[in-house]
Amino acid sequence: MRKKTIKDVAKEANVSIATVSRILNQTSKGYSEKTKKHVLETMEKMGYSPNAVARSLISRQTRTIGVLFPEISGMVSSEMLHGIEAVANTFGHSVIVCNTNSDQAKTLKYLRILEEKQVEGVIFTSKVLTKEYEKMVRQMNVPFVVLASESEVEDVPHVKVDDELASYEATKFLIEHGHKHIGMLSGNGDDPIAGKPRIDGFKRALKEAKLPCRDTQIAQNNGFYFENGHLAFSKLMASHPETTAVFASSDELAMSAVSAALEYGKRVPDDLSIIGYDNTKLAKMAVPKLTVVSQELESLGRKAAEMLYREIHTGERSPSLTAQHNIVKRDSVKPLSS
């Protein structure tokens, strides 16, 4: 069963396609009331209803938003997507997902695709919306929200936790449990969002407590994935075998540390305490279950979508939002026995 088009309607009603198009577009000129009535009756008889694409063209509402992820197959992305999709769905909207592989060219390509598709808004996740994207953002002229990162483009709000503070508190939590030799598995110090601020928070807590704080205590990685953590953990243990506690700046890095610790004959938490960062489902699945700083990613996703829809519906831009974080105590941190 081929779908009926305005061509079929035109043929059946014995008018030109342009006339049908004008009627659908509610142009007030170019056809008589009699023709309009005849065409509408023909449509009804044929069971033709203008499709969403046609209606989008008329109303300029595509009921679609786009979401860009640097990596789509991680827990962090999928939990944020879950929150975004839930909100979009309540508005009868669809979500186009774009996997940018953290690549600028691919990101631009995707923004162009989203522009072409006339999405009504864009959520840009986990990467800084840099000046490189400004021209495109202006050109698209639809609401943008940056999720779990920040924006260099003026007037684009973000929603994220305070990474420095969250990391400070995670480290402090270890200190309060009596640990004095604390290491960190971090992202890249050049990463202005999830890298440097988390390192800064870690250092601030150590300095405040007058504990040793050398650069070698911070094992940097190029990513926050499980695969990244192993080597970093080995480096940390090689330079600081005295370490009794580790702040891992993602859940995956924490899982990696748990796994690597065993290879060093260290049991978690008896010989080594580990605190993670994110609170994805992984944290509950780990053995031992991970104590973490929680970002509540699904809720972050919901908030970003709510900010976006507020602007879509009212034209009012939401201010940037610093979301709450909190420490979720499970089984991977233990007081240091003296």
**Residues 246-285 as x/- pattern, contact with a second copy by CB under 8 A:** ------x--xx-xx--x------------------xx-xx
Can the peptide bond before residue 197 be classed as cis, meaning omega within 30 degrees of 0? no
Binder to a second copy among 9, 39, 87, 95 (CB under 8 A)? Answer: 95
d(CA 264, CA 262): 5
User: If DSSP codes are grouped into helix, strand and coil, which group holds residue 125?
Assistant: strand
When the beta carbons of 80 and 307 are compared against a second copy, the nearer one is 80
CB 333 within 8 A of CB 274: yes
Question: Closest approach of Cβ 6 to a second copy, in Å?
Answer: 9
Question: Closest approach of Cβ 25 to a second copy, in Å?
Answer: 7
**Residues 127-166 as x/- pattern, contact with a second copy by CB under 8 A:** -----------xx-x-------------------------
- Choose among 307, 316, 241, 252: nearest CA to 280: 252
By CB under 8 A, the count of residues binding a second copy is: 67
- Choose among 158, 153, 88: nearest CA to 320: 158
N- to C-terminal Cα separation, the chain: 78
Question: Closest approach of Cβ 288 to a second copy, in Å?
Answer: 8
286 binds a second copy (CB under 8 A): yes
22 binds a second copy (CB under 8 A): yes
- Quote the tokens at residue 59: 């109303």
Binder to a second copy among 41, 45, 46, 51 (CB under 8 A)? Answer: 51
94 binds a second copy (CB under 8 A): yes
238 binds a second copy (CB under 8 A): no
Radius of gyration, CA atoms only, the chain? 26
Question: Closest approach of Cβ 180 to a second copy, in Å?
Answer: 26
- The b/e string for 202-241 (b: 16+ C-beta within 10 A; e otherwise) is bbbbbeebebebeeebbbbbebbbbebbbebbebbbeebe
- Quote the tokens at residue 106: 């691919």
11 binds a second copy (CB under 8 A): no
234 binds a second copy (CB under 8 A): no
Sheet (strand 326-328) strand order? 218-220, 182-186, 245-248, 273-278, 291-294, 326-328
d(CA 8, CA 5): 5
d(CA 283, CA 295): 12
Binder to a second copy among 12, 38, 40, 52 (CB under 8 A)? Answer: 52
98 binds a second copy (CB under 8 A): yes
**Residue 217 exposure: Cα atoms within 13 Å on the Cβ side:** 21
Q: Torsions phi, psi of 287, nearest 5?
A: -120, 115
When the beta carbons of 45 and 281 are compared against a second copy, the nearer one is 281
d(CA 49, CA 24): 10
Binder to a second copy among 8, 12, 35, 99 (CB under 8 A)? Answer: 99
Binder to a second copy among 102, 287, 329, 335 (CB under 8 A)? Answer: 287
Report the interface residues with a second copy, using CB under 8 A.
1-3, 5, 16-18, 21-22, 25, 27, 29-30, 51-54, 56-57, 60, 62-64, 66, 72-75, 77-79, 81-82, 85-86, 89, 92, 94-99, 113-118, 138-139, 141, 226, 252, 255-256, 258-259, 262, 281-282, 284-287, 289, 298
